Amino acid sequence: MATRHWKVRPYVLTGGRTRTRQHLLVHTLISVPHYDSIFAATLLPEARSLYENARETTSLAELSAHCGISLGVTRVVIDDLATIDRVLIHPESYTSPFDRHLLERLRDGLRQLA
């Protein structure tokens, strides 16, 4: 991706969206199951650069940094690509073996102690 003009604001890249349908964390792993160069050519520069760089399984944060696209935009674009099954979001990378509820209680307890 060439240097994007600074007047192109990030909200335009996502149509103002910030929320994602799937849970995406910075360390969530992303990969492209079947790379399709014809499909890549139809994408906008940002989506395309993310799509191409996700051919190797990469974390979201790494993708964002490598493509020079802010995390908020990366998440939405990757989410869009995932809904049309162009990229794969690896589920095991964000399911924690610990009970989330328990962890939250633990955290709250620690806060009270502090």
**71 in contact with another protein (CB under 8 A):** yes
Beta strand 58-59 with 88-89 is unpaired
When the beta carbons of 3 and 112 are compared against another protein, the nearer one is 3
Interaction of residue 82 with another protein, rule CB under 8 A: no
Least CB distance from residue 112 to another protein, whole Å?
A: 24
Question: Closest by alpha carbon to 46, among 18, 78, 17, 86?
Answer: 78
Nearer to another protein, 2 or 113 (CB): 2
Among 19, 34, 100, 101, binds another protein (CB under 8 A): 19
* 56 contributes a contact to another protein by CB under 8 A: yes
Residues paired with residue 14 on neighbouring β-strands, in sequence order: none
Smallest gap from Cβ 52 to another protein, in A, equals 8
CB 73 within 8 A of CB 9: no
SS3 45: helix
CB of 70 to another protein, least distance (A): 5
The dihedral through the CA atoms of 51, 42, 24, 63 has a sign that is positive
- Written as one string, the DSSP assignment of 3-18 is PPPTTS-HHHHTTT--
**Contacts to another protein by CB under 8 A:** 1-13, 15-16, 18-20, 26, 37, 40-41, 44-45, 48-49, 52, 55-56, 62, 65-68, 70-72
